[in-house]
Amino acid sequence: MNTSLSIMLKNAPRLLNITSSSKYFLRRGIITETLPSASSASAKSSERTHTCNELSSALVGQQVALCGWMQRKATPQFLAFHDGYGRTQLVIPENNAGLLKKLESIQDSSVVMVKGLVCNSQAHQVGLNNGSAGLEIAVSDVSIIDDDALHHKYSDDNNTDEESPTTQNPHAPISFPGVNVYTERTHTCGELRGSDAGTEVVLCGWLQFLRMNKFVTIRDSYGVTQILIPEELADEAQLLVKAPLESIIRVKGVVATRPPAEVSPKMSTGEIEVILKEVDILNEAKCKLPLQVREFQKANEYLRLKHRYLDLRSPSMQKSLRMRSKLLMRMREFLVAEREFVEVETPTLFGRTPGGAREFVVPTHNAGEFFSLVQSPQQLKQMLMAGAVDRYFQVARCYRDESTRPDRQPEFTQLDVELSFTDRESVLALAEDVLQFAWPESFAPLVTPFPRITYRQAIDLYGSDKPDTSFENFIQDFTDLNDGGQSESRSKSRALVINNGAKNYTTSIRNKYDAFARTTYPDVRFLAIKVTPEWQATLKKALPSCSNLDALQARLNFSVGDLLFVSIGDIDRASMLLGKLRLEFAEPNLQRSFDFLWVVDFPMFEAGENGKLCSVHHPFTQPHPQDLHLLETDPLKVRSLSYDLVLNGCEIGGGSIRVHNCALQKYILKNLLGEGTERLQHLLDALESGCPPHGGLALGIDRLMSILTGSESIRDVIAFPKGFDYKDHLSGAPCDISAEDRKYYHLPQVTDHRNVAEH
Amino acid sequence: MNTSLSIMLKNAPRLLNITSSSKYFLRRGIITETLPSASSASAKSSERTHTCNELSSALVGQQVALCGWMQRKATPQFLAFHDGYGRTQLVIPENNAGLLKKLESIQDSSVVMVKGLVCNSQAHQVGLNNGSAGLEIAVSDVSIIDDDALHHKYSDDNNTDEESPTTQNPHAPISFPGVNVYTERTHTCGELRGSDAGTEVVLCGWLQFLRMNKFVTIRDSYGVTQILIPEELADEAQLLVKAPLESIIRVKGVVATRPPAEVSPKMSTGEIEVILKEVDILNEAKCKLPLQVREFQKANEYLRLKHRYLDLRSPSMQKSLRMRSKLLMRMREFLVAEREFVEVETPTLFGRTPGGAREFVVPTHNAGEFFSLVQSPQQLKQMLMAGAVDRYFQVARCYRDESTRPDRQPEFTQLDVELSFTDRESVLALAEDVLQFAWPESFAPLVTPFPRITYRQAIDLYGSDKPDTSFENFIQDFTDLNDGGQSESRSKSRALVINNGAKNYTTSIRNKYDAFARTTYPDVRFLAIKVTPEWQATLKKALPSCSNLDALQARLNFSVGDLLFVSIGDIDRASMLLGKLRLEFAEPNLQRSFDFLWVVDFPMFEAGENGKLCSVHHPFTQPHPQDLHLLETDPLKVRSLSYDLVLNGCEIGGGSIRVHNCALQKYILKNLLGEGTERLQHLLDALESGCPPHGGLALGIDRLMSILTGSESIRDVIAFPKGFDYKDHLSGAPCDISAEDRKYYHLPQVTDHRNVAEH
């Protein structure tokens, strides 16, 4: 199995002559360069008096020396500090300008020796997640310790907690029958248990940690295992001892149970260690990596994206990617094996879709001829329906050039499903069934059917078409009490009560929301009223048209101390303004579950600029059968057969029953939307060629995964995302292309930029 | 379930007033416009005297009248003719210019009435696949029959053969448990059997055929079912009788077994028919579709691509797409469930890959900044390996702008697999296991391991690096007999014997191959020698340096009547010339099986222009461990750890063990290939960050599927392919974009074309 490698190793000396950059070309038994002196570093680090976890109030007033990493906070005077054992807070005396300057020059990732006095924290800072809460170190000196050496000695012990992204229970035996096939290893680093004692094993992975020149931990995607270097191999193991952390090693050894005192309940392999027999350094890492592989204290996102191959080693990324793969596989299993759907790959290089998001264009060798990258397979899946592929799905890559919206990705993934001879009820059931089947086993099972509200209800009650229903607090109407007669008007009086909200509504907060309302909803009258014992007088002044204030209080049920928001204007806009405030003033729900919700009965159209109609969903959406008669006379009142799926207040999917009748589709496009049909002729042709009634939906996999994993950004559930600036920091794309490519694709030469790129 | 539809139907009358284009808007019970008179057409078609299958030699000399379709042949005088029952040949008398002219004006798809005299064919034309072999019709008159009506009456009966793409055995009961969930139907059109008699069913599908105003066949992707219109429903069923074929219908009825004489063994549902109770026309097709949905006599490819939604209804397309979905699903099942691989979606908008195929560029809003569409996930999967995703796969969309190569597609699909801590043997085994597991059940099981030859053997024996091993006939060497002393030279004498090939090697064929050899291999001496009884004299003259002709004959084992090809020159090029001829003169193997073959030990490099080294595979390929010592001294002799998978002489996959050592990778890129490493810095960084040894491969799904389905082109296994001209005939893409988009993406305005697009 390892012939190629060992032969490469044998032949390596010749190669070493070729290039000066081959200093660390291959390690084993060949290179004897000493590393930057480990002993001098040890000398320094041996000055350490305590680890962070040893700090206690008994030490207040004592001088201590700590080794670890600093992390800056908002003020230069305070720094977080941690080592492999715990955390504390550093305080830099304000008058020590030299020390402050020195600190500025130290990278966060450098390992430092900090000397100072243990103090009690000031009372208001207790509980700031310091680890050693209540204590801080008044720093008298900081010095950088030789990174290279310390990299070995003070690596992050906590890593052993974060070992196994695929196991839920560290004590359960792991049995992935196929996981070692086709590899040199006999077991993964997360697999060995006490019952394996006596077995000879080969493990491959990353050198994670070294302790006392005797214990090594080796890590792979499945866990970590402790290797014990026996006395008689101390010499041979020197290359292991000297190899930088994160080097790739292969160890052969025999499994032994640990002495009872050393069994680690935190590690899935904590019952055993492997007594080393043979070691190979398969690929040496360089000594100082740009970021460290660990879960807490993540590097900033730019570094994480630029060195994504390092970030991917973190347990959270491993877990996300594996959960994502599993979720998609389960979705496929359901659709294919349980429901006879056919996965069809549709093209991404296609014609431009009229309307909708901005589509990337792809120039061709022929001047003036461009493909567009599809924003979804919408047209193509409808043509599959006309083409008798009556149960289609695809895990589809979609493209939108929304470079102005930072939490989007230019390419994203949706589970795209469409079927014939169906109706709305069936498609909703299908989506619920897919999610229920594919739902991660580690979560509570999904309860279906999901609750359902209409668009009208969502706006009226929550002021949002994707309401967060994990908490109540509805928006209420008091138009009848304020402006009773004109019930036919769209102008409504709306209110939202924030219980006990008055005390936190400071002047600066008030100014902020007043400005927001003024800027974003200038057409809506907005009031924020603190309910005081004198609320009657306040309201009388603020709402002179409201004659019956007692009735108002009874309706809205506010009490003294509450905060009352009022908005008066167009029903939708007045409600949406309150909907935003509703979210802003929500109590944080830390134990939140997964709240799914269907929003149905969206309007077909909304009024765009100059009163032109625009599609709310897309122009291929079937009107609601009960409203067909309004198409001609009052299209803005027509509801559609579209639906959105909302999870915890985030839209994660949507779809509709489509128009299958060619004449109706033409009428909607031409007569109602005023759009040309030339670029959709193929779709119209398909509709009149014998096209079944059909409908479907798409689930946004990135968003769904980010909610399932509790990630802050969809970038955390994508292996190689673009950054918030829409750039790929790994490859440096987008970047310039060659003059030859420009010529081939009829793109302006660089010198022409001024002429062409003039905005 | 059907509320939305029926309500839409009820509300339809209002809509009908809105638009003049709504003539065929909705049909049921609303529109009473008469179709072009069916009775007049019936009158005409009732003049038919025979169907094609009734023609026999007993009719020779009689006048007949046939109804059906014509299909032109190479000469205007002969036409193929068929109706729903069989085929015959039409002969147009040469002196009848009026008739010839009339024929020219008739479309192949029109239904015509042909009158003429039954004749015996001329002897040499018997057996030309006429159906009524031995007979032809000497035509006296042709007239177009009202298409609209005849569309009903003479649709292609043979369609009933082509019903069920998913069934192997028409008599086996079909049970797809999930296939009707979420739909209005109770059963598919391929599902009912005699045991279902008495069941009330709802079927949805395409109106396929109507016979005697009494029998209707309804088709969906799963089969066809015969519907019987009972007397008492004759009135209501008028709308069915009048609906154009391919309209979408829904029928409710009761299953009944057919009378024994009417049981059709050709249909999977041939035991039953459904007695109609209710019918709805869900969506009417237009009367004359641009191409007909049937398997034989396919329309030309342009029409098939332009109206792909019609072509997709053909059984062969249905079968291909469903087989493709199943194959990919089985591959995923194997990799995920059996071997613990993780599917990771990698970006397609990425940086440019140095070298390799031409990559599409995607302009961004920032002038001078372009993404490239990835030609494969190569760099990304290597970075996944560095990122501890140690068992990766992806069904990956790849892009190459090879618009000059007509049988390629600008976007294509590969199964991309990579894993860590592996070696060549393991990757080959993995590929074999995946294929064996996913192999269609209807084929003979795949035998593994696949045979394996080296690149050297492939060139020497077959003259090709993707040899077709389904037949033998090796290329042979006789350098020692011809030019014995210089065995170290690369110049070799090679020979290929075509048994009994002499007689067919006419002067025109000889000229063709001489020209080919002269043009493509000008540096190789090429001889084609017919082996006559005087072969000694011929060879003496042709190969004066070959002293021992008897030994030559004994070596090559040729006999009188054979054809002997000789090529003398560089060993690779001389062999490849003969390799081309070997394929040209292969006996067609009609009963061919699936011949897999691994080709291994490719050279790392080949000499490019100016003697510069080029990668044969790609620059990330690991050199063969046995040849590492030659990297410095003789890189052209270094073999690599790459491998190609060949199926029936077609390369369907390939891969390699990759370079995992940063210094070696830099040496190959900079010192050997002379390439800059700036654009690969992220990969080099990844290699020195702790990157496991790794390797993998990619299988070309489109090519594999086209071989599995016996398709002529990969376009037949892709739902919406680009045409041979790289254009999308469905949407008309690529096409021009708006001035606004040009400005946004800094592309030259149309008027600037002359300035920018000047080549």
Chain segment B274-288, per-residue pLDDT in tens: 999 999 999 999 998
- pLDDT, residue A3, reads 39
Dihedral of the alpha carbons of A60, A64, A68, A73, in degrees to the nearest 10: 50
- pLDDT, residue A102, reads 79
Of B396 and A592, more confident: B396
Q: Do domains B194-283 and B471-589 have the same CATH topology?
A: no
Domain boundaries, chain A: 57-144, 194-283, 317-446+698-716, 471-589
Interface of B with A in 603-642 (CB under 8 A): 622, 624-626, 628-629, 631-632, 641
Residues of chain A with pLDDT under 50: 1-45, 123-131, 146-174, 752-759
Nearest residue to A298 via CA among A711, A729, A704: A711
Quick: pLDDT tens for B474-484: 999 999 998 75
CATH 2.40.50.140 is the classification of domain B194-283: yes
* Pick from B348, B401, B419: CB nearest A182: B419
Task: Give ∠ CA B129-B130-B136 in degrees, rounded to 5.
Answer: 145
The long-range contacts involving A13-22, CB below 8 angstroms and separated by at least 24 positions, are A14/B628, A14/B629, A14/B632, A15/B628, A15/B631, A15/B632, A15/B664, A15/B667, A17/B632, A18/B631, A18/B632, A18/B667, A18/B671, A19/B663, A19/B666, A19/B667, A19/B671, A21/B663, A21/B666, A21/B667, A22/B663, A22/B667
CA distance B730 to B303: 9
Residue carrying the six token digits 């609320």? A535
Q: What is the pTM of this model?
A: 0.79
- pLDDT, residue B160, reads 39
Quick: pLDDT tens for B577-608: 999 999 998 876 656 689 999 999 999 999 98
By CA distance, what is B728's nearest residue in A? Answer: A350
Cβ B318–A730 below 8 Å, yes or no? Answer: no
CB B167 within 8 A of CB B223: yes
- pLDDT, residue A750, reads 63
State how far residue A286 is from chain B, nearest Cα, in angstroms: 6
Interface of B with A in 523-552 (CB under 8 A): none
CB A320 within 8 A of CB A167: no
CA distance B679 to B682: 8
Class of domain B471-589: alpha beta
The whole-number average pLDDT for the span B444-448 is: 94
By CA distance, what is B327's nearest residue in A? Answer: A343
Give B488: exposed, middle or buried? Use CB within 10 Å, 0-12, 13-18, 19+. exposed
Q: B352 and chain A: CB distance < 8 Å anywhere?
A: yes
- pLDDT, residue A296, reads 52
Quick: pLDDT tens for B344-370: 999 999 998 877 789 999 999 999 999
Task: Give ∠ CA B701-B704-B710 in degrees, rounded to 5.
Answer: 135
* Pick from B5, B182, B284: CB nearest A419: B182
Among A282-286, A396-400, B56-60, B721-725, which is the least confidently predicted range? B56-60
By CA distance, what is A188's nearest residue in B? Answer: B390
Residue carrying the six token digits 């179709």? B35
- pLDDT, residue B757, reads 39
- pLDDT, residue B391, reads 97
- pLDDT, residue A11, reads 38
Task: Give ∠ CA B661-A718-A735 in degrees, rounded to 5.
Answer: 65
Q: B215 and chain A: CB distance < 8 Å anywhere?
A: no
CA distance A420 to A535: 59
- Lookup: tokens for A331: 């979705």
- pLDDT, residue A409, reads 94
CA distance B632 to B652: 33
Give A-chain residues touching B731 at CB under 8 angstroms: 350-351, 379, 679, 682
ipTM reported for the complex, 2 dp: 0.79
Nearest residue to A113 via CA among A164, A13, A170, A45: A45
In this prediction, residue B77 has a pLDDT band, given cuts at 50, 70 and 90, of: confident
Q: Which of B284, B288, B317, B371 to mutate to test the interface with A (most CBs of A within 10 A)?
A: B371
Task: Decide if pLDDT at B220 tops 80.
Answer: yes
Q: A684 and chain B: CB distance < 8 Å anywhere?
A: no
* Pick from B312, B352, B690: CB nearest A384: B312
Q: What is the mean pLDDT of chain B?
A: 84
Q: A30 and chain B: CB distance < 8 Å anywhere?
A: no
Q: B26 and chain A: CB distance < 8 Å anywhere?
A: yes
CA distance B48 to B38: 16
Give A576: exposed, middle or buried? Use CB within 10 Å, 0-12, 13-18, 19+. buried
* Pick from B318, B626, B736: CB nearest A388: B318
Q: B654 and chain A: CB distance < 8 Å anywhere?
A: no
- pLDDT, residue A722, reads 95
Task: Decide if pLDDT at B751 tops 60.
Answer: no
Cβ pairs bridging A and B (under 8 Å):
523
Class of domain B57-144: mainly beta
- pLDDT, residue B381, reads 97
Task: Give ∠ CA B719-B723-B726 in degrees, rounded to 5.
Answer: 115
* Pick from B693, B737, B752: CB nearest A370: B737
Cβ A309–B383 below 8 Å, yes or no? Answer: yes
State how far residue A213 is from chain B, nearest Cα, in angstroms: 20
CA distance B169 to B267: 10
Amino acid at A352: R
Amino acid at B312: L
- pLDDT, residue A490, reads 80
Class of domain B317-446+698-716: alpha beta
Quick: pLDDT tens for B126-135: 433 444 557 8
CA distance A750 to A284: 42
